[in-house]
Each structure stands twice: as C-alpha cells, then as structure tokens.
Amino acid sequence: MNYRSSEFLRDHIKSILDFYHPTIIDPAGGYFQNFLDDGSVFDGDERHLVSSTRMVFNFCKAYELFGDEEYRRRAQHGLAFVEERHWDQRRGGYDWTLKGDQATNQTNYCYGLAFVMLMHAAAFEAKIVDTSCAIDETYEILESRFWLDDDGLYADEASPDWSDLSDYRGQNANMHTCEAMLAAFEATASERYLERAYALARMFAIDLASKSNDLIWEHFTSDLEVDWDFNCNDPRNLYRPWGFQPGHQTEWAKLLLTLYEFRPENWMIERGSDLFDQAIALAWDGKYGGIQYGFNPQGEICDDEKHFWVQAESFAAAARLAIATGQQTYWNWYDRIWQYADQYMVDKRYGAWFRVLDRKNKTLSSAKSTAGGKCDYHTIGACLDAMRVLK
C-alpha cells in the first residue's frame, strides 16, 4: 500500500465519512454523536460541544475536498445547531453538554471555544459562510474571558456566569487554541491570529517545556509551575490525563511545522523534531506495534493503550518533519505508523477507525465514536495534512 499517495489519502477520508452516512444527521437538529462499531446510534439525545464543532469541521473539509453539495448541507446543519442550541445568549457562552433540549453542563471551557473557532475558520475557508465575523467574535470571547496577558497563555475554565476563573492551567486547551489560531490565519490572513499562535507555540514548546525535561507536560499551577500530581490517580482522564502524552508531543510537532510555513524560524523544526523523536523513542511498542498512550516523568509507560488519535497525529507530524528536514527516517516512521494503523486501527468491516485498543491491539469497547471523545476529526485532519505536504 502506498500510504504517501494523495489518492489513497483522499479515498481513506471518503471511507471515514461514509461510516457516518446517512445516520449522522438528526432531523431535530445537530448530529448524532454516539456510534457503535457497526454504525448504529446509541444515546441519541446526548450532544457535546467538542463533537458538534468537530463534525462541522469534518464536513467543511469534505466539501472543500470533494465539492459534494451534500457535505455543504451537512456542515450548515451542524453549524446552525452550534449557534442556536449550544450558544446561550443570556450568559454569552456555549453550553458544554446537552441532553435533548436541556443543558447539562454550562461550564465555560477554553478548549470548547478553540473548537468553535476552528469550526468557524473551516466554514469560512470552505465558503460555507461568506463572512469571517464569527471567527472574530469567538476570538474576542477568548481574549476577554481567558487570555492572561501577564502569563502569555489562556486559562482553562470559568464558571457558567464567568464570575470564577479556575486556577488550573493546562497545555491541551492552549494547544488546540494554537491550532484554531493557525486555521483562522489561513482563512482570513489576519496577522493577529498568527501572532497569537506564535506566542502559544513559544510558551509551551520552549518556555514551559524547559521546566519538564524539554517535553510538554499537561498541567500547571496558576503561577505556571509544573503540577506533577494533577490527576495522578486518573491517567486516562479524557481531556486532562496524567503523564506525558506522546500524542501531544507529536501534535505539537505538527503545529510547529505548520507555523513554520507562515513564519519560518529554525527552532520550530528543531523542537518539532525533538518532541517527535523523544515521544516515539519512549512510547513506540516494539513488541505489538503502535504508539502507547502515556509515560511517566521517568520515561516508563504508565498507560499502554493505543488510541486512534495518537497514531493519526503522529503520522501527520512525521510527514511534515520528513518534508521540513529531508530526513528519510521520518518517512520511515510515517509508513510504519500507517502500516500499524491500517492493520489494527482501521475497521475493515464497517469503516472508520476503532477508538481505543489494548496493548495487544484488541478492541476495548464496541463504541466507535462517543460524544466529546471521537468523531474522526483527528483522522480526517491528519489525512488532509499529509495530503497538503505531499503536494
């Protein structure tokens, strides 16, 4: 299999989208978000802001790639749901989770706003909408509610009425906000988005990484000291896991190389290479294949599960590093990660990728996609990113 072929990547994206067809659309609004391996829906009333926005992103990118009006209609359907049902005009925030018509969690998360911004950038770039106003409006919420100018990063969490800002500081929300800012810059050419992405990249890949052996730790205190103990009893927390996350090292590598496209500085390639190299050296499973989920500060595996998104972000990072450095070793890793994913992660019977496997590559759940957890934005995005650099 030629995993570097644009035709292969394009066909693979289509096969993932086909898994969700035609079941994804809820005629009452938004998308169904919980799918079993066979494509059947469970818990059809549950909605999560992260999945709602990511699915809009998927269909915007699909419309750009294939030009099929059905993808455009699906993107518009999901976009309307986010702006009419997740958005709460009264308090000026997005509801994190919904159950039917009721908000079940109104906590304000920077992480959620990052994906709202990414969604709007994708919609504008694909010409699903004809104005960038929604990008600008989301940026203003991020700046007014979460940006900490003295610290040079975004806070993570605020109470529903915005009166209380949590002391927790995390890299995950900031990483995805960096991603959203890069997408907003590409869509609008507004320098303020590029400047913010650059500031976040330097803060996390250089300044804060210097406090944790030049790898990116997940959790920090309000004075930006490394919080080594946060969620130490919950290493598999969905958004705030304990330990070094190999997938986040490689995802930052991908973002640094994306930033290099627009504002090239050598440290971006150097740090991207170092983050990828260390993550793969420590987390690649030499016995069963694949990249394991987490390792502790001593470099020992603390979570040996294989998650879909880790493999996807890592092959995208490998492709970018191969182009940027000219080193064949990164193409070797690109092919090796793809071979593993193709053999174990890709569901050859029903389509799309399995969500999580154990160390020996057996499925751990019959749920392929879950609200807030997986909707194949990572896999589609990684294929698109590889196609982009391969051109």
| Span 41-65, pLDDT tens digits | 999 999 999 999 999 999 999 999 9
Long-range pairs for 151-157 at CB < 8 Å and ≥24 separation?
A: 151/224, 152/199, 152/203, 152/207, 153/200, 153/203, 153/204, 153/224, 154/110, 154/200, 155/110, 156/109, 156/110, 156/111, 157/107, 157/108, 157/109, 157/110
Kindly list the distances between the CA atom of residue 221 and the CA atoms of 35, 170, 236, in Å, as whole numbers in the listed order: 37, 8, 20
Quote the CA–CA distance of 17 and 381 in Å, as a whole number: 12
How many other C-beta atoms lie within 10 A of the C-beta of residue 6? 14
338: pLDDT strictly greater than 90: yes
Please, which residues have CB within 8 angstroms of residue 266's CB and are 6 or more apart in sequence?
A: none
Residue 26: per-residue pLDDT:
96
> What's the whole-model pTM score?
0.97
106's tokens: 């109104």
**Lowest mean pLDDT across 203-212, 227-236, 354-363:** 227-236
Quote the CA–CA distance of 53 and 31 in Å, as a whole number: 10
CATH architecture of 6-390: Alpha/alpha barrel (1.50)
Q: How confident is the model at residue 234 (pLDDT cuts 50, 70, 90)?
A: confident
- 361: region left, alpha or beta (phi > 0 left; psi from -120 to 50 alpha): left
Residue 314: per-residue pLDDT:
98
Residue 233: per-residue pLDDT:
86
- Residue 21 a catalytic site member: no
Residue 190: per-residue pLDDT:
98
How many other C-beta atoms lie within 10 A of the C-beta of residue 58? 29
Quote the CA–CA distance of 269 and 195 in Å, as a whole number: 18
State the amino acid at position 385 in one-letter form: D
Domain residue ranges in the chain: 6-390
Q: Cis (ω within 30 of 0) for the bond into 22?
A: yes
Catalytic residue among 48, 86, 219, 378: 378
Q: Compute the average pLDDT of residues 338-354.
A: 97
Q: Compute the average pLDDT of residues 242-269.
A: 98
Q: Compute the average pLDDT of residues 84-91.
A: 98
| Span 183-211, pLDDT tens digits | 999 999 999 999 999 999 999 999 999 99
- Residue 86 a catalytic site member: no
Q: Compute the average pLDDT of residues 351-363.
A: 97
Nearest CA to 328 out of 338, 337, 318 is that of 318
Catalytic residue among 86, 176, 248, 307: 248
Please, which residues have CB within 8 angstroms of residue 69's CB and are 6 or more apart in sequence?
A: 63
203's tokens: 């803060």
239: pLDDT strictly greater than 90: no
Given a contact cutoff of 8 angstroms between Cβ atoms, the answer to whether 230 and 217 are in contact is no
31: pLDDT strictly greater than 90: yes
362: pLDDT strictly greater than 90: yes
Exposed e or buried b for every residue in 102-132, given b needs 16+ CB within 10 A?
ebeebebbbbbbbbbbbbbbbbbbbebbeeb
| Span 125-162, pLDDT tens digits | 999 999 999 999 999 999 999 999 999 999 999 999 99
Residue 22: per-residue pLDDT:
87
Compute the mean pLDDT over every residue in the chain, rounded to the nearest whole number: 97
Quote the CA–CA distance of 224 and 219 in Å, as a whole number: 9
